[in-house]
Every structure is written in C-alpha cells, then in structure tokens.
Amino acid sequence: MKTKEQRKAELKAVQDKILTAVENATTSPEKLMELMLFVGKYEKRYSFNNRWLLASQGARVVDSYKGWQNRGYQVQKGSSALHIIVPSTCKYFMTDNGTKSLRYATKQEKQMIADGQIKVIEYTSFALKNCVFDVTQTDMPEDKIPSAYDNKHLTFKGLNKEDAQAIVQTVDKVSQDINVKLLSKFENWDKFKRVGVAKGFYSPSQKIIVTNPNNTDSENVKTLIHELTHAILDPESKNVVSKNLNLNLKKVSYSLGELQAEMTAKLVTSHFGMEDDESVGYIASWTGNGKKLQELKPEDKVKVLDDVLKVSDYLIELIEK
C-alpha cells in the first residue's frame, strides 16, 4: 500500500513528464503540431494531460471495466488497467468546530446553506489511478476494431512456420550473444509498470527484451526483430554484434531509433515473405512523415540507414543458416 507521500511523488513525476513534453514541443511549429496530433486522437471527454498519458501507454480507445460491459464487451482476464489522472472534488463548510464535509451536513445546516447563510467551499485534488482499459484488452472481435488502430492485433500473411521458428531462434541466439535476456510472450507482462498495450519493449537498463503475451504469432516475430534491433543499436551497450558489424552507432532521437528498428524488422520479415502494411504508417507517425530524417545532415542520414542495412543483412544471413 503506497503512502500519501509516495502517491503525490508519483503524480508529480508524471506531471513533470507532461510539462517536459509540452516544453520540448513548443520549440517549433512542427514539433507542436506533432504533439497535438499525438494527443488529438482521443475522445473529447479527456483532458490534454490524460490524452498524453493514454497515448504514451499505447492506448487509443479506453473505458472503465463497467463501461466496456455496458458496451457489450468484457475486459480480458489478467489485463492491467491503464493509468489516468483522476480529479476528486471535496465540498465542505466552516462550523464552530472547524471544517465539515457537505455530505455530513445536518438538515438545519443544509437549509442554512440553501439560504446563503453558510458558504460552501470546493477543493479539487488529483490522483493517478489505474482505472481504464484499452479496446485491445477486451474481447471485442478484431473485425470490429478500426483497421487504422495502432495496436489492433494483426495476422500477417506469407511467413511459413519454419521461417517463423528460425527467426525466433535467431533472436534468442543473438540476444544471448549481446547479453540481453529474452522474455518472448512473457506471461507476467503485467508486472512491468507503464507498458500499456505495447507489443513489446527493450529495456537498456535491465538488458531485457519483453513481448506482449497477447501478440499474434506473426506480430511476435516482427516485434522480436524490432526490439532486438534496439538492443543491437544501443550506443551504450558496446555489444559484440555492433563491434563485428562495425556499426556507426550514431546516437539518434527516440523517433529515429523507432525508424531504424521498424525498418529493420520490415526488411527482415519481407525477405522471408511476410506481408504487412503497418510499417509504413508506423515509421511515418514516428518521423513526422520523414521530416525528422530530413532534418539530419546528409552524412548522418547515410549513417542511420547504413546501420539498418548492416543489421538486416546480418540477421537474414543468420536466419537462413
């Protein structure tokens, strides 16, 4: 059970992240537009802060547990609720003995309030609560979820079972080579805080690659390559693979890191026949339709893309063996 001080500290940390995102975005009209597009996809009932929070957790359409039930859908067992900032308004008034909550007012006090003899004071506090679920955490049929939805579960065509197994085995081997622990389709996914409904992640500090157990098999294959690329290209790791491939390892922004990881995953899976249309949209959303890449110097663009080709070629060769 968290103390009141711990809850306050947690809320402040989240609020600071939001303020930092806004501060960074206001340095240029392009960045500001990118931020607004990032948060603008949510329902109007949510504030800017909560839209940013939901977007950062990979969610898009959310509701409470009962809310989904009222819509006719059930939240899947074991799903962890996403966090939002929830306001709580307290109404009170002054008495001879101090403050008193409006809910405990006597009949006489209520009449005096109605007559304007006693003034009611309102105080609103905020708390970080895990109380909503994304549509992908429910039993809503896949064909009912809009195809443009970021985290809609997809089954890609063209990849045979043998190649899929070879890819997973290769990711496992390379992960061991670079001292990264692989937790593929990890059943205890929900123990990781703030992962939302992402398909997977690489943690540089923990040196782990984790994928969502709710991924389809083809999603998991592509996610594994995506996250393994992050691990290989991690400029702080100085791993044996990056040394052997003589990678540029230019430290890039988070957005360009996503471009490299997704492009590598696309090149590798396409080589083995996997068909999917989501990579282009994913890369476009992270790079402002390529603007972030265009901002680099010509020689730096080449370094970013050169690393993608080196890692792709390396993984394809290992998988084919």
**Where do the structural domains in the chain lie, given as residue ranges?**
4-83+130-137, 88-128, 153-320
Q: Is the pLDDT of residue 19 over 60?
A: yes
CA 5 to chain centre: 26
- Say which residue, 155 or 320, is predicted with more confidence: 320
Phi, psi of 132 (to 5 degrees): -130, 160
- Tell me the pairing of strands 181-183 and 208-211: parallel
What does the alpha-carbon distance between residue 188 and residue 192 come to, in Å, rounded to a whole number? Answer: 8
Complete DSSP assignment for 163-230: HHHHHHHHHHHHHHHTT-EEETT-TTGGGSTT-TT-SEEEETTTTEEEE-TTS-HHHHHHHHHHHHHH
- The H-or-E segment that residue 289 falls in is none
Q: Answer for the pair 35, 106: CB distance below 8 angstroms, yes or no.
A: no
Q: Answer for the pair 142, 153: CB distance below 8 angstroms, yes or no.
A: yes
Indicate the pLDDT class of residue 193, thresholds 50, 70 and 90: low
Task: Pull the structure tokens for residue 247.
Answer: 């990678």
Only one residue has tokens 């929900």, namely 190
What is the rounded average pLDDT for all residues in the chain?
81
Q: Mean pLDDT highest for which of 51-60, 85-94, 290-299?
A: 85-94
What does the alpha-carbon distance between residue 66 and residue 138 come to, in Å, rounded to a whole number? Answer: 12
- In this prediction, residue 173 carries a pLDDT of 93
Task: Pull the structure tokens for residue 168.
Answer: 């997973």
Poorest-pLDDT segment among 75-84, 152-161, 199-208: 152-161
- In this prediction, residue 174 carries a pLDDT of 92
| Residues β-bridged to residue 87 | 126
Q: Is the pLDDT of residue 176 over 90?
A: yes
Could you read off the pLDDT of 225-258 as tens digits, one per residue? Answer: 999 999 998 888 788 888 888 888 767 677 788 8
Predicted structure pTM score: 0.60
What does the alpha-carbon distance between residue 160 and residue 146 come to, in Å, rounded to a whole number? Answer: 27
Q: Give the rounded percent of residues in the chain with a pLDDT score beyond 90.
A: 11
Geometric angle at alpha carbon 176, from 174 and 181, rounded to 5° = 110
- Tell me the pairing of strands 62-63 and 200-203: unpaired
What does the alpha-carbon distance between residue 177 and residue 301 come to, in Å, rounded to a whole number? Answer: 28
Indicate the pLDDT class of residue 8, thresholds 50, 70 and 90: confident
Give the SS3 label for residue 137.
helix
Could you read off the pLDDT of 28-76 as tens digits, one per residue? Answer: 766 766 677 666 666 667 888 888 888 788 787 888 999 899 889 999 8
Q: Give the rounded percent of residues in the chain with a pLDDT score beyond 70.
A: 83
Task: Pull the structure tokens for residue 243.
Answer: 């040394």
Q: Answer for the pair 232, 241: CB distance below 8 angstroms, yes or no.
A: yes
Helix extents (H) in the chain: 4-25, 29-39, 48-56, 65-71, 107-114, 161-177, 217-232, 240-244, 254-271, 278-287, 291-294, 298-320
Q: Is the pLDDT of residue 277 over 90?
A: no
